[in-house]
Structure 1
Amino acid sequence: MFAVDAGSTMAVGKAMEKYGLHAKGVHAGGFDLLPETLDAIANDHLDFTIDQQAYLRGFYTVMEMAMFKLSGGLSGPAEVNTGLKFVAKSDVAPYRTTHSRYEGASSAQAVIPRSGPIST
């Protein structure tokens, strides 16, 4: 079962849990980072969710407006794809414990510390 938005992804996770579907071989996933969705991944009820990296939408929009202005209108709007960042059980833990404005769990301004190599 695959959902296409935040609310239905959370609902799929609840249905998977209620009926024990993962243990019966059913796979499930969806979109967005609601806490219930992240919990469902951690508890083996969902296989994945897609982090749409929504904060990039605003960032890229501002960058495009700045470039439009700086270039006298020669640099125009572009197709912006913020990518599909899959979050599975192997990498869900930081999403559940980190409170940042980037993922909507906080409004506080902060630099989030991280160590290790850059990876996808």
Structure 2
Amino acid sequence: MQKKLALAAAVIHGPRILFLDEPFEGVDAVASVTLKQMLQGMIARGTTIFLSSHVLEIVERLCSHVAIIDHGKLIAQGSLDQLRVGVHAHRETLPTEQMESSERLTLEEIFLRIVGRESPSHPTQELSWLS
């Protein structure tokens, strides 16, 4: 409830620039859909929105430009297409079939490649607290 109130206070005056920190954290599915629609409407009316999020699927759907920060350092920025190209600029030895599949990389896959980590083959090795 407090998050919704803070968001309402932030947007009530129709700001031209809006900064949101993890706006989808702790929000139920209905509120999430409503929030996405509201943000898309604000963007369509010319509002610039900066948001931080660990939910990369949402970032991929909402944002025209992305900045990737790893351990407090900005390591990549640009549109999704620019980031896809950047992944391959750093990986010149990728096989042709992987190069062609770059058009389908998700933001999560781009992030993992840029920060130098691949998806673990056995997730429980990475999440030892689950064992």
TM-score range, shorter chain: 0.3 to 0.5
Bigger relative contact order (CA 8 A; separation at least 6): 1
Query: Which structure shows the bigger proportion of residues in strand conformation?
Result: 2
Instruction: Calculate the TM-score normalised by the size of structure 2.
Output: 0.37
Structure with the bigger percentage of helix: 2
* TM score, norm. by length of structure 1: 0.39
